[in-house]
Amino acid sequence: MVRAPKDFKFLKGWDNIGLILKVYGLTLLFFFVFRLILFLTGLENMDGLSANSRDIINAFIMGLRFDVVISGYLLLLPYLLLTIFFIISGKRHPFVYKTIFILTFILFALAFVVCAADIPYFNQFFSRMTISAFQWFDSPVFVMKMIIEEPRYWIYIVLFVLMSFLFYSLLKRIISNAEKKPLVRRRIWIKVIFSFIFLGLMFAGIRGRLSKKTPIKVGTAYISDNAFLNQLGLNPVFTLMQSYLENLDKRNESIALIDEKYAISRVQEYLGIDSVHAYYPLYRQVIPDTVSTTKPNVVIFIMESMAASKMKRHGNKLNLMPFLDSLALNSIYFDSIYTAGIHTYNGVFSTLFSYPAIFRQQPMRESRMLKYNGISNTLKKLGYSTTYITTHDGQFDNIQGFLSLNDFDRIISEDDYPREEVKTTLGVPDDFMFRFSVPVINELHTSGKPFLVTFVTSSNHGPYYIPEYFKPANDNIKDQAIEYADWSIRQFINMASKEEWFPNTIFVFVADHGIHKKFSYDISLEYHHTPLIFYAPDLLPESRIYTGIGGQIDVFPTLMGILNQPWINNTQGVDLRKQSRPYIMVNSITNYGVIGKEFFLIVKQDGSSKLYKYHQKSKKDYSWQFPEIKKQMNEYARCNLQAFQFINQNKMQYIE
């Protein structure tokens, strides 16, 4: 017992932990220097009106977090090698230290190459290093000539050489000193326990966040209104590796369904575009006959898994959604609306930005976040504030970073709620989110600006949590969750009706996606069929039901038509009150579908397809009886999907 304190004296004799900690400190210092140089060379990107010293400090602190992640990854193998010999051997092995030195130097030299190259790359493209930086490497001679002939690039080559030489010298000194220190003998079980504890700390650093749901992401760095400072906090090795992994992901593969030029021309016909813009193929300037002198507030509910099939109007007899059923009878209701994809990120993206889903592609992925002329950008130009509120982790699906880039002023998520109110991995219950939001909206109202608030609910998704104070009528937990989600929305509307801003607010209800039912085609219609409700008892007193085919991608243009404000439509959506669609596309992981008034076409990944009369729930393939209809429907989907990809790849999705 007397000798125990000597055994646990901090770091003394801990060859593996002490050495790695010193190298950690060294690498973080070098990454800081690269970030500081980037900051100094990019000062012209600073906006004095939106950045202050606190934002700058926070950006460097965020950078430290990302640097810890990369240092952890690169030091993991050296630590494991060092630890193995530390535990099993009773003496030092010079070849182990030499191996650790060579391995560590090579790994970080490669990292410093990326950091040095990232500075001119960022100053040129205003983007941290990604795999797209290598798109010209099919012409290496051209690239090398361009670098050699540009003197300013030599500055960064010299910077890399100097930094690598300095790192080499300091690293060698650290490892040499560690090798020369006297060996302290310890019991093997003590070595194992403390080595594993430190390994756990390394993994925590690599993960970058303590949240259970998702590790650190590119979007985590978006913590201010200043785009330069948001990117300053990133580590270019992180963004490069992230983009490389996403490039390997089949979800992000490019599609080749039809000729791009033909697709664009056909989509222009579908959308009724007569006068084609010289550069933006979907550009339409929309000027209403009578511009409204008032600007109503907008509150959008993107409801988790809220399939239309759960409503009484669509045949459900369990009375699961009595409140939404009542709203449908006292609102503008669209009967045949379908979600673009099967994931929440599809629902958020397509609702707010009016573009379709493409198979497995994640449109908000970290390595290539694009800015769109979506609802947030459009309303912001009209003087609106923009707020996004969800129950859970805002980093999930990189939504927070993507929406911050796309002109959402504020993102409220799990970190903003009291910890005791977080009940599951999906965060707080829906009704708590709504109760929490009312004071927030009141504050937005007092600013004097109209506001856009977008809610994304989650209680209608497992793991299910039903608060004790809610008493469901059904026994099945999934049905109870639907009841609770509907009840929560009722509570919010009841609270909102007592506030000053309620009479001048339009409430929009749509699902991110639906749910799968037992009867289904290869693409589940119930997974895509969603309610779409525009509710504003003081502004839209006359209820009306539209039965035409439409999609989630039409929510934004239809809302703009209701607002009666001039705007630029640069999307694939239409105002469903004024323009009809022959079909709408839906997308699963590998298949796509096309829905019309009578037929439902499903096209599989292998190219095979079937045509169904879905209202009859028929499984008969009508392809042979109606080949022309099948051809038209298939072409409609292929052209729309190919056009979206073309617009994204050529950066035609955003107009200043």
C-alpha 568/C-alpha 360 separation (Å) is: 29
Using one digit for the tens of pLDDT, what is the confidence trace for 46-80?
655 455 788 899 999 999 999 999 999 999 999 99
- To the nearest 10 degrees (0 to 180), the angle between helices 15-41 and 188-207 is 20
| pLDDT at residue 138, as a whole number | 47
Of the pLDDT bands very low, low, confident and very high (cuts 50, 70, 90), residue 374 is: very high
| pLDDT at residue 5, as a whole number | 39
C-alpha 38/C-alpha 118 separation (Å) is: 9
Q: Is 70 exceeded by the pLDDT of residue 90?
A: no
State the sign of the Cα–Cα–Cα–Cα dihedral 83, 88, 90, 94.
negative
Using one digit for the tens of pLDDT, what is the confidence trace for 182-232?
665 667 777 788 888 988 999 999 998 877 677 888 888 888 767 788 889
Of the pLDDT bands very low, low, confident and very high (cuts 50, 70, 90), residue 372 is: very high
C-alpha 178/C-alpha 520 separation (Å) is: 66
Q: What are phi and psi of 33, to 5 degrees?
A: -60, -45
Find the DSSP H helices in 42-150. Answer: 53-88, 94-125, 140-148
Tell me the two tokens of residue 406.
């796309």
| pLDDT at residue 3, as a whole number | 42
Q: Is the separation of the CB atoms in 300 and 502 below 8 Å?
A: no
Task: For residue 15, give Cα distances in angstroms to 11, 71, 436.
Answer: 8, 19, 51
Write out the H or E segment, with its range, that includes residue 240. Answer: helix 236-248
Tell me the two tokens of residue 308.
């239309």
Residue 603 exposure: Cα atoms within 13 Å on the Cβ side: 19
- Which domains are seen in the chain, by residue range? 4-244 (no CATH), 258-649 (3.40.720.10)
C-alpha 215/C-alpha 463 separation (Å) is: 20
| pLDDT at residue 449, as a whole number | 97
